[in-house]
Structure 1
């Protein structure tokens, strides 16, 4: 059952944004051999990227690599992996992708996979350039980074390809890694895909420096000392302030750790990231009781004091929150001298040149040794098994390897810094930073034209793709307007002659009855129908005319009975011939009367087209062109549907005929509608 504390903290809960990355090396003969190789390569990679990440301010977690196994045994050997939360700063995510690309160039035998909580981040970025077959269902285990390029394993296009490339949904990760590394199949993505990814990371690593923003703040001395000593605490303090809850605000009522008394305040230049600065200044926050800000009329002082007040409150809330603390084991308390594996670990990294020939006891040697201790302890704490999907973001151990201060919680880090606090050291740091100036905030204000230019730059590829799609649609519409009228008339004739109807509607020629019971009951009838299907169709005109007159008594007697007639058969034939002549005369008279009745009505006469060409004199006795009238009536009926479903539209759909919209029809005027 949730407590009140859980409910209050849940009021600010938001989805956790993270990026997950895996680096696969060629496996050794045994897992032990592979693990030993990975330990060495991890140190090599850390040392390789250190110049880029040394002063980088991470929004939440840092880039970090650990050794792990897949919980589904795919692949069956260990590998390097990491998972980093980047919060609202997507630049952290793309900086990590840049690092992974550089690692793949530095170590060409590696195959790297990267994804975030939304899926395949590389495919999302290059969505407009992807082949049509590639979607979230078919992209599983098919997208990798290898030797600085994006690789996409294609679907098999021939039966021979199935031997190398399994069908969609069947590709195992270990098999996919082998395909990319061995290059027996062309997996390198097309240039437009490569360019879309490169465009996103082209500005790194310089972009990591331009994302910083310096601004003057008035802070309590302890807060200024902590932030100047460890700048990585600033993003954590801003996050604590940005997602504050009622329980966290209780700590700001007293400010025990960072008291803002007048004699305890200093002014200094503080380095933010653009994301953290925007998060801080955008929040409307009334100062707690311990704070006394300058009047608003003193704009610069008020601005610096307000910004410092928010940072100090964030630090106080960060210190008060104990729910994110980690293992108490750290590099200062662990007995490294008693751990034989640590000695073996140091020997391996020394052989790889990790210490770069520095003498033991030198400053650079001590720095690298401390970093190696943190990496060693981090690997000891992490679980051996990892998962690719459904990352448990609520488990702090999931991100234990990427926490900013390794095994130390932010609270312990603050305590360790404050333990070394001195007024002299604070003054030295203040003098160093006072030489810097605040950066312009113009980047936070975007006018409509700048926004338009930015959108045009970002949406250029999308606009080109949309225009290409529109051109294809126009071509298809132009092709669809070419209607074969002869084929349409033939389909109608076949429909009239070959269709059957029942209680469920019309059954078109070629359709099978869906009612199995009905089919079984009529199976014998169908067989008889099939036997006589090719038989000649006979039509008795005299019987048909007799039925029209209602004179059924004049039907000729069957041939069998005629053979049994008496010798006065000639006289009977004469009487029948006389009756037939009278019937024909009567029918002709009746048809003439019907024609006269029809021609006397102008509307009925005008409804039939006789096929007379324009300019020719119309004749009353001109024959009616049945096919022409059929086409005319179909088009008029389709036009009357006004784009809505209707009988003609449904029948034409069954024929596969698509009639174009009547764009030339003039709109009705207001007077006509009235």
Structure 2
């Protein structure tokens, strides 16, 4: 069987191709492992991976079609056994991707929703998702996790399958590798399925998607140069790079904004046109909440017309963002060969796809036809990704088309969306904090109930032995009575005429009382070893142990 064409050969900047294990900030990573990767030969698994890749993208495309991503769109690439390229597996064929979400956490949780949806639609696969913080799904459900689970032993344990979160139990796999966990979840899913409380917290976090993703989009009416309007008309998603260019500006890129050589050719004689721009709420906030002086060459309207000035000011920031982004990328030569068919074909040749066959031979033509069909299918879903990675070339293509200011005149431009959400964020923050506080209170109440139940159980055990209820004050009285006795330089002395009954001690009763103190103070955890991994054997525990032995030693002195 011929080798499948390797996907995404032009993404040399992908984190999965880096040698280092250091993860970039504000980036979510994900990997999808079909069961065929575990049960089939590498060749069969890699072949089926192509079909699964397109099926998943086609299934998820209705959710992502009109979404504006903060930095880069959701995408998947193929990692096959002959050319492993993903940090999470060095030999299992799988799909993988990464997405930088920056300041927009909505992007990260939208990705989580998409992955849960993919696992629900395709039941014979398992999904991993993590970010710079590690297993962030566990962080979300921190108050509901089993006590044995911690960051040190969670690696490879957390997977998504059939729309549920799975945690591979420690008693079944003490130290699993990724393949072990994938096999366990596929074959013993009932055992690995996380508790309902954990499921509820994670699913509640994504329950409002995909509607929440649509709510995250903000429409705003602006006045921009015709060149900017032309670019956004053909490629609305390029607003992401424009806002990024504006928000991440520095002294060097500001020089480009001061001249506006590409997007403001006529200078102050440029006529601004009114258009409606779609962006995420995070992008809108980044534009609105930064003070930025318009370049001298920019044709800003008079402040006396407040509405027109506000629209032009926001449009000016977008135009300057486009200029800075375009000029910087052009200077640094970040375009490469982009996503053209020629670049794709050359990558196939470099990776041995044609297996040394002579061009024009029957087998060569068959492989070439397969590659062309695959490229055409793939391009339907990866166009946005390729265009975002090569914006300079695409902008040049758009601005090479005929256009003028008249193309945008006389059009009905809807008013901007209400942006009160930008100033009412305190309510949302308080709501989120209150929700976390409730989780903490429930967690503490549950913990206290467990302790109370243990105490009642211990008390019941003492009652069953027909012994009076333990009173800690009795031990204190015994100690005080002892230290009141006569002391000399030789130590504590007992009077010769002492009443022997007065210091008689029921040793069995005393030991039971000591044991009761230990149980009440949590010494049973030390004895059982349940919390050793969690580090509960602290200096305080050591102090309690010392006190216990001191009391026992003191008892021996009293009895003696």
**Same fold flag (TM > 0.5):** yes
Query: Does structure 1 residue 22 correspond to structure 2 residue 34?
Result: no
1:196–1:177 CA distance, 2 compared to 1 (3 A)? same
Query: Does structure 1 residue 256 correspond to structure 2 residue 261?
Result: yes
Aligned position for 2:150: 135
Please list the CA deviations of residues 222-275 of structure 1 after superposition, one character each: whole Å capped at 9, or x if unmatched. Answer: 011112221111111111111111001010111011115344311112112100
1:315–1:407 CA distance, 2 compared to 1 (3 A)? closer
Cα distance in 2 for partners of 1:240, 1:306 equals: 16
Please list the CA deviations of residues 557-592 of structure 1 after superposition, one character each: whole Å capped at 9, or x if unmatched. Answer: xxxxxxxxxxxxxxxxxxxxxxxxxxxxxxxxxx99
- Alignment match of 1:95 (pick from 110, 120, 125): 110
Query: Does structure 1 residue 309 correspond to structure 2 residue 316?
Result: yes
Aligned position for 1:415: 396
Aligned position for 2:124: 109
The 8 Å contact of residues 225 and 421 in structure 1, kept in 2 or not, is answered as: no
Cα distance in 2 for partners of 1:294, 1:130 equals: 58
- Alignment match of 2:547 (pick from 630, 652, 667): 652
Aligned position for 2:307: 300
The size of the alignment, in residue pairs, is 447
- Alignment match of 1:47 (pick from 52, 55, 58): 58
1:56 to partner: Cα distance: 1.2
Please list the CA deviations of residues 111-148 of structure 1 after superposition, one character each: whole Å capped at 9, or x if unmatched. Answer: 11110111102111111111111111121111101111
Cα distance in 1 for partners of 2:550, 2:64 equals: 66
| Within-5 A mapping of 1:226-375 | 226-259=231-264, 260-322=267-329, 323=332, 325-331=334-340, 333-334=342-343, 340=365, 341-345=367-371, 370=376, 372-373=378-379
The 8 Å contact of residues 166 and 189 in structure 2, kept in 1 or not, is answered as: no
1:118–1:332 CA distance, 2 compared to 1 (3 A)? same
| Within-5 A mapping of 1:200-239 | 200-239=205-244
Q: Secondary structure at the match of 1:440?
A: coil
1:408 to partner: Cα distance: 4.8
The 8 Å contact of residues 179 and 185 in structure 1, kept in 2 or not, is answered as: no
The 8 Å contact of residues 275 and 408 in structure 2, kept in 1 or not, is answered as: no
| Within-5 A mapping of 1:382-461 | 404-405=385-386, 408-423=389-404, 427=406, 434-446=412-424, 451-457=429-435, 459-461=437-439
| Within-5 A mapping of 1:453-472 | 453-457=431-435, 459-469=437-447
Please list the CA deviations of residues 297-339 of structure 1 after superposition, one character each: whole Å capped at 9, or x if unmatched. Answer: 4321121111011111100000011237143143265586988
The 8 Å contact of residues 238 and 276 in structure 1, kept in 2 or not, is answered as: yes
The 8 Å contact of residues 225 and 272 in structure 2, kept in 1 or not, is answered as: yes
Please list the CA deviations of residues 428-465 of structure 1 after superposition, one character each: whole Å capped at 9, or x if unmatched. Answer: 56655x34221111111127666544532454323322
Aligned position for 2:514: none
Aligned position for 1:512: none
- Alignment match of 1:483 (pick from 472, 481, 487): 472
1:194–1:414 CA distance, 2 compared to 1 (3 A)? same
**C-alpha RMSD of the superposition:** 4.0
Cα distance in 2 for partners of 1:172, 1:90 equals: 30
The 8 Å contact of residues 268 and 430 in structure 1, kept in 2 or not, is answered as: no
319-328 or 454-463, which deviates more: 454-463
Q: Secondary structure at the match of 1:186?
A: helix
1:404 to partner: Cα distance: 3.0
238-247 or 453-462, which deviates more: 453-462
Aligned position for 1:152: 167
Please list the CA deviations of residues 492-527 of structure 1 after superposition, one character each: whole Å capped at 9, or x if unmatched. Answer: 98xx9xxxxxxxxxxxxxxxxxxxxxxxxxxxxxxx
Cα distance in 2 for partners of 1:60, 1:48 equals: 22
The 8 Å contact of residues 60 and 236 in structure 1, kept in 2 or not, is answered as: yes
The 8 Å contact of residues 337 and 343 in structure 2, kept in 1 or not, is answered as: no
The 8 Å contact of residues 221 and 414 in structure 2, kept in 1 or not, is answered as: no
Aligned position for 1:563: none
Aligned position for 2:521: none
Cα distance in 2 for partners of 1:290, 1:371 equals: 45
The 8 Å contact of residues 60 and 86 in structure 1, kept in 2 or not, is answered as: yes
The 8 Å contact of residues 335 and 393 in structure 2, kept in 1 or not, is answered as: no
Query: Does structure 1 residue 80 correspond to structure 2 residue 95?
Result: yes
The 8 Å contact of residues 32 and 128 in structure 2, kept in 1 or not, is answered as: yes
The 8 Å contact of residues 150 and 188 in structure 1, kept in 2 or not, is answered as: yes
405-414 or 196-205, which deviates more: 405-414
Cα distance in 2 for partners of 1:219, 1:291 equals: 10
Cα distance in 2 for partners of 1:193, 1:115 equals: 17
The 8 Å contact of residues 221 and 413 in structure 2, kept in 1 or not, is answered as: no
Gaps of 5+ in 2: 1-22, 347-358, 460-469, 486-494, 506-539, 553-560
The 8 Å contact of residues 29 and 130 in structure 2, kept in 1 or not, is answered as: yes
| Within-5 A mapping of 1:564-603 | none
The 8 Å contact of residues 293 and 306 in structure 1, kept in 2 or not, is answered as: yes
Q: TM-score, normalised by structure 2?
A: 0.70
The 8 Å contact of residues 86 and 96 in structure 2, kept in 1 or not, is answered as: no
The 8 Å contact of residues 328 and 407 in structure 1, kept in 2 or not, is answered as: no
Aligned position for 1:618: none
Gaps of 5+ in 1: 1-13, 157-164, 350-368, 379-401, 497-590, 596-609, 611-621, 629-644, 658-674
Cα distance in 1 for partners of 2:192, 2:544 equals: 47
Cα distance in 2 for partners of 1:447, 1:65 equals: 34
1:288–1:466 CA distance, 2 compared to 1 (3 A)? farther
Please list the CA deviations of residues 156-210 of structure 1 after superposition, one character each: whole Å capped at 9, or x if unmatched. Answer: 1xxxxxxxx231xx21110110000012761111111111111111111111111
